[in-house]
Structure 1
Amino acid sequence: MIGLFSLAVLYTLYLARDLLLPIFLALLLSLLLRPLVKGLRRLRVPEAVSAILLVTLLFAGLAGAAFSLTDPATHWIKRAPVVMHEMELKLGDLRQSVETARSASRQIEEMAAAADQDIDTVVVRGPSLAEQVLTQSQVILAQAFIVLVLLFFFLAGGRSMLEQVMGAMPNLEDRIHYATIAGTVQKNIAGYLATVTLINTMLGLATAGLMAVLGMPNPGLWGVMAALLNFIPYLGSGVSLLVITIVSGLTFDNTLAIAAPPLCFVVLTTIEGNFLTPVIVGRRLTLNPIAVFLTILFWGWMWGIPGALMAVPILAVFKILCDAHKPLHALGALLGGKTPA
């Protein structure tokens, strides 16, 4: 029964990902912005007004970033089909082996064509990469609108909703227990998200500045990419490094100039990953690196890149819930150190 229930939960999470993704993302954003709502409430600003203000500012920031980065991102997406050809020309010595393989492939194709001269061939052209990205962008925009609407409701009515749930519990001890859990989740996850967002923003600004100094095209685009992908521990910085290396190889001809952008980015991510993040974030939440990596793989498999981005906060919430329930203390200890109260 437990196995069947687990399979049913996994299937539901996968099948309902388009519905659950905006809800999860709005919940995480509400935890991040909740301290600002509390601060404005102390200034006698109603929560609904605070929610409208914060959602409007968030929408303006996202719209401004999308407007400024759409053209360079579209340019590189359209160039994607020829990137491999350009990289092949840059690789030099490997080009001969590639040409040999292509020649052998053409010979095989000619032999096959000679054997089947009477067979008509129909080539079906699929959508281009740019068309696929455009279609996916429309889905992302629709989900972003849903996230903003849900975020408004969570910020404007989340506190009253939680109070109603707590008030419906007949046992005073249960009310105190679950109110403490809710407070711990809100405090630690909000602190974690705010800290990581600040660190990643600094990394993105430093990356954009270095890329501009080194002469890379569209430095702002690579800075935003580095900041966003760095929310995925271990894997995100590797993807950013790969993209920066490819762009550098396509942009410059000198070996030193090609190596400078990726090497500088490695220095930045080394400082961030080995000094800043462990010292600052480790004070709030200590998670097992193996558990983090497996969680990223799982949610990335279930929900793609958005799932990988939300994997660590989801793991952190689950660990806090484990620490708050005695039967799950062993699992919480396996996931990381003791959660601070």
Structure 2
Amino acid sequence: MEDDPIDFAPQTEDGVPEIPQVALDRSTAEELELRKMQKTQTTCLFILALATGLGLAYVAKMVLVVLFVSILVAFVLAPVVDFGVRFGVPRSLASLFAVFLLIGVIYGITFMSYSKGVDFMQDLPKYSRRIREVGQRWERRAEAFRRSTQDIVPQSEDDKRAVTIRQQSSLSDTVTTALGSVGEIFFTISFIPFLAFFMLSWQEHVRSATVMLFKMENRNTAYVTLGLMSSMIRSFLVGNLLVGLFVSVVSMIIFGLLGVPFFYFVGFISGYLSMVPYLGIVLALIPPVITGMGVMSLEKLVVIIVSILSLHLFAMNVLYPKVLGKRLQLNPLTVTIALLFWGWLWGAMGLILAIPVTAAIKIVLDHVEGFEGYGQWMGE
């Protein structure tokens, strides 16, 4: 005979099991509610800060572009300054020498470009007849295409009688507007050498003062974050320099074998123009095609176009990820969105600055508590 199971549940006088009473910890409930409110406040503050940052980036476009370009220039010149400091040269003097060295290099490149352009214009009459023939051939094809479309879609009598009146702007207004824009650009660019000089000469002070802006418990994180951003920017510049140099050398060899005039100069320009995101593949085609249009056959021009396209695809899809992928740690979707966004916000300079700015934002998100998920989403 089996023993009856023992029921340990408390029962009432009627034999009905008593429902256990659970004590609610009010302090825990209040703590959960407080955490929920803090999380909501943090999200609202983040959205507000993001909207404020985007508005500031749009309004202060020129200032921020100059600031970021100056930072990149300072990182380019930093090895020269460190080399001088290593041999006992004061940092301020080494920084001044580095800035003047950069100005001299830019002047030399500009002078060389101008002289080669003058040489090209002097040699232009030698094959101007072929250039005109090519232009006239394309003009005849365009005219034939226009006539064929007119035959397919004939104009109505109202369209033939339509008269378009265009208001012509005066020459003085056009010249004044152009000079004003050019003057504003040159005035803004003139700040870059000064900003780069002060960033180089006050490098240690700026870094330590930036770290001191944070609370004591966050200073180590800020110091590590600044170090990672510096390493990223340095790797970005060196990687672009190496990849651009490779593409330029290969372009020079191909252009030289095909007989492109001034192949060494055109190949150098085309190689580094190819590094511009998205627009590079179009910009890299312009110098060799224009230079070789009057003296080269159509077959050679096709070979040039195919070579540039192949080099660009190889550099962007093979070399670029190998050289910069480990440092930047940005997935292709993030890079594409960044190029689209910063290009829309800042134009052509936004396309150039999009990758380092986005990589810097990712590094910050990786080291801010509560935002690590966004950094992981942007990463590989």
- TM-score class, shorter: 0.7 to 0.9
CA separation of 1:99 and 1:159: change in aligned 2, threshold 3 A: farther
For 1:239, the equivalent position in structure 2 comes to 282
The C-alpha deviation readout for 1:250-296, integer Å capped at 9, x for no partner, is 33563312212112212322332233222222232221111111111
Counterpart selection for 1:293 from 309, 318, 336: 336
Tell me, which stretches of 5 or more residues in structure 1 are unaligned? 77-82
Q: Residues 216-255 of structure 1: matches in 2 within 5 Å?
A: 216-219=260-263, 220-221=265-266, 223-230=268-275, 232-233=276-277, 235-243=278-286, 246-247=289-290, 250-252=293-295, 254-255=297-298
Deviation, 1:212, is 4.0
Given candidates 193, 205, 209, the residue that maps to 1:160 is 205
Match status 1:19 vs 2:63: yes
Change (3 A) 1:290 1:85: farther
Q: Which aligned pairs between 1:270-281 and structure 2 lie closer than 5 A?
A: 270-281=313-324
Rate the CA distance shift 1:228–1:114 in 2: closer, same or farther, 3 A: closer
Q: Distance in 1 between matches of 2:185 and 2:274?
A: 17
2:228 corresponds to which residue?
184
1:58 is aligned to 102
Larger radius of gyration between Structure 1 and Structure 2: 2
Give the superposition deviation at 1:221: 4.4
Moved more, 328-337 or 87-96: 87-96
Match of 2:91 in 1: 47
TM-score by length of 1: 0.78
Structure 1 residue 143 displacement after superposition: 2.9
SS of structure 2 residue aligned to 1:206: helix
Matches within 5 A, 1:324-335: 324-335=367-378
- Which residue of structure 2 lines up, in the alignment, with residue 211 of structure 1? 255
Residue identity matched to 2:205: S
Q: 2:348 aligns with which of 298, 305, 322?
A: 305
Aligned letter for 1:259?
V
Q: Which runs of 5+ in 2 are unaligned?
A: 1-43, 122-130
Assess if the C-alpha contact under 8 Å between 2:274 and 2:281 holds in 1.
Answer: no
The corresponding residue for 1:195 is 239
For 2:160 and 2:228, the matched residues in 1 are separated by 69
Match of 1:142 in 2: 187
Distance 2:150 2:132 in 1: 14
In the other structure, the counterpart of 1:96 is 144
Q: Whole-Å Cα distance in 2 between the matches of residues 114 and 91 of structure 1? A: 26
CA distance in 2, matches of 1:326, 1:184: 17
- Worse overlay, 129-138 or 263-272: 129-138
Aligned-pair CA distance for 1:205:
3.8
Distance 1:10 1:62 in 2: 33
Q: After superposition, give the CA deviation of every residue in 1:212-234 in whole Å (9 maximum; x if it has no partner).
A: 4423345424632441451x33x
- The structure-2 alpha-carbon separation of the partners of 1:253 and 1:210, relative to structure 1 and needing over 3 Å to count, comes to closer
Mapped to 2, the partners of 1:101 and 1:249 lie a distance apart of: 32
CA distance in structure 2 between the partners assigned to 1:260 and 1:130 by the alignment: 41
Counterpart code for 1:292: V
- Cα separation, 1, equivalents of 2:160 and 2:167: 13
**Which residue is 2:196 aligned to?**
151
Shift of residue 4, structure 1, vs aligned partner: 6.2
Cα distance between partner residues in 2 of 1:84 and 1:319: 52
1:273, 1:120 → 2: CA distance? 48
SS at match of 1:283: helix
Partner of 1:80: none
Task: Give the CA deviation at 1:66.
Answer: 1.9
Shift of the 137–208 alpha-carbon distance from structure 1 to 2, 3 Å rule, reads farther
| Aligned-pair CA distance for 1:138 | 4.4
Which sits farther off after the overlay, 310-319 or 64-73? Answer: 64-73
Is the counterpart of residue 69 in structure 1 residue 133 in structure 2?
no
Aligned to 2:53: 9
Give the 3-state SS of the residue equivalent to 2:260 in structure 1.
coil
- Aligned partners of 2:221 and 2:49: how far apart in 1? 28
3-state secondary structure, aligned to 1:266: helix
CA gap 1:143/1:115 in 2 versus in 1, 3 angstroms: closer
- Taking the aligned partners of 1:226 and 1:103, their CA distance within structure 2 comes to 45
Corresponding residue SS for 1:30: helix
**Counterpart AA for 2:375:** G
Could you give the per-residue CA deviations for residues 285-321 of structure 1, whole angstroms, max 9, x where no partner exists? Answer: 2211111111111111111111110110101111111
Q: Is the 8 A contact 1:32 1:191 kept in 2?
A: no
